Amino acid sequence: MSHRPTVTSFAFDYLIVGAGFAGSVLAERLARGSNKRVLVVDRRNHVGGNAYDHHDAAGVLVHRYGPHIFHTNSAEVFDYLGRFTEWREYEHRVLASVDGQLLPVPINLDTINRFYGLNLGSREAEKFLATLAEPREHIRTSEDVVISKVGSELYKKFFRGYTRKQWGMDPSELDAQVTARIPVRFNRDDRYFTDSFQSMPRHGYTRMFENMLDHPNISVLLQTDYRDVAGVIPFKEMIYTGPVDEFFDCRFGKLPYRSLEFKHETLEQEQFQPVGVVNYPNSHAFTRVTEFKHLTGQRHPKTSVVYEFPRSEGDPYYPVPKPENAALYQQYHALAEATAGVHFVGRLATYRYYNMDQVVAQALTTYKKITGHRNGNADTPRIIPAGVAAAA
Ligand code: FAD
Ligand code: UDP
């Protein structure tokens, strides 16, 4: 009772389930762009969804649910989020621990040369990999994607073990889109992403979310499952960003989501590893180790890291892209489409392996669809959050 908002004769235009990117973007747009009254509920005790960050006991800014690196090719998404945060440029780099060496991932010219003990130029490396590649007529699985580009040896050393650990199944069982996220390069570019915009929110994701949700038309209720309020607080329509199967009581069966267990640690040293993330494809039970200070640029005499241990049970973090799951999702999707007054948005609700920027784009598109706006941004002036204005 105590943390419920006062229920007036008519309360909210929208009940938004989930305060992650999908829910927060829609809350912000509906409130600020269309003057709607919205109630955002989240069963966690914080906003931001899986992008939530906070200062740990030592004062180091960490991401509770694993490393979140913002990158996009969409100027619209970047500008939109830029209303709520300043940016700090950050280009992410990843090394993989393979046969006692730390080698760049994605595989690039240096990876090839160091792995095979060669000294090839770009052209020669391309020809060399062509001799190792095992072309496949149809690229359907995550095994096909890699083997057809780099052959079996690099596949086994860099992809097979990591993927088996991360997903609990062989790459040959997973859709191509999973390992296709990681390109192969014949130059020395060792950035993980090549998007036009690569930046982190200067004061963290949570501050950005707080700025988005800071509006008189938005109420936020944490530690609350929407089912506890849906029958109590009146609203006109719902935006749902949780797992789609759960919304329908798993009536067609449970949709598989892959989970992770995070082991956070603070170390009495200034730096732990040379880059933000080190992957462990073939050794250890964890897949990767992230050292947050590389991502955030924070200076601190101590450092904090997180280890990721893949799990089949636990909070749903990843949809699992494979044909039978897509077929099961289609059944839920059809039901979702037929459910009047509820909009399904985000990574869990649309069962898509989406990055943050894709979820923001999806939410902005949904806003335009709901409100009939041609351009959801055109109606509002640029908003400079108080903290940013003061710092400027
Ligand atoms: P979520 O962030 O999952 O938000 C959904 C919210 O709904 C949750 O807070 C949940 O508590 C709430 N909820 C669910 N059910 C209910 C209910 N019944 N009642 C009340 N509340 C409910 N993307 C990138 O772009 N770059 C990265 O580097 C990156 N790294 C990632 C690393 C990991 C380990 C993971 C798991 C994801 C990563 N992502 C990354 C993806 C990114 O986290 C997602 O794209 C994004 O957070 C999805 O936002 P969302 O709003 O759809 O879902
Ligand atoms: N992958 C791999 N080895 C690596 C990096 C990635 O096998 O060194 C595969 C693995 O299947 C992983 C997928 O590529 O799940 C996508 O990697 P990404 O880093 O994009 O995963 P995310 O950050 O979404 O967990």
Tell me if 362 is assigned to some domain.
Answer: no
Q: What distance in Å separates the CA atoms of residue 255 and residue 349, rounded to the nearest whole number?
A: 11
Whether the predicted pLDDT of 255 surpasses 90:
yes
Alpha carbon 29 to its chain centroid, in Å, reads: 21
pLDDT value of residue 382: 32
Ligand 1 pocket, residue 113 CB under 6 Å: no
Mutation probe of ligand 2 site: the residue of 181, 193, 308, 355 with most atoms within 8 A of C-beta: 181
pLDDT value of residue 379: 39
Q: Where are the alpha helices (DSSP H) in the chain?
A: 21-28, 34, 75-81, 109-116, 122-132, 142-154, 161-167, 205-213, 226-229, 244-247, 292-296, 323-337, 356-371, 386-391
Measure 181 CA to ligand 2 centroid, in angstroms.
7
Tell me if 172 is assigned to some domain.
Answer: yes
Mutation probe of ligand 2 site: the residue of 182, 277, 282, 287 with most atoms within 8 A of C-beta: 182
Tell me if 209 is assigned to some domain.
Answer: no
pLDDT value of residue 380: 39
Domain residue limits at 115: 107-178
Average pLDDT score over residue span 311-327: 97
Mean predicted lDDT score pLDDT of the chain: 93
Tell me if 268 is assigned to some domain.
Answer: no
Whether the predicted pLDDT of 392 surpasses 60:
no
Measure 50 CA to ligand 1 centroid, in angstroms.
4
Please count the structural domains in the chain. Answer: 1
Tell me if 337 is assigned to some domain.
Answer: no
Q: Is 163 helix (H, G, I), strand (E, B) or coil?
A: helix
pLDDT value of residue 10: 56
pLDDT value of residue 388: 32
Q: Is 342 helix (H, G, I), strand (E, B) or coil?
A: strand
Tell me if 162 is assigned to some domain.
Answer: yes
pTM of the model: 0.94
Whether the predicted pLDDT of 218 surpasses 70:
yes
Tell me if 144 is assigned to some domain.
Answer: yes
11 pLDDT band, cuts 50/70/90, is confident
Average pLDDT score over residue span 96-113: 98
Ligand 1, residue 68: give the atom nearest the CA: 28
374 pLDDT band, cuts 50/70/90, is low
Tell me if 247 is assigned to some domain.
Answer: no
Measure 151 CA to ligand 1 centroid, in angstroms.
34
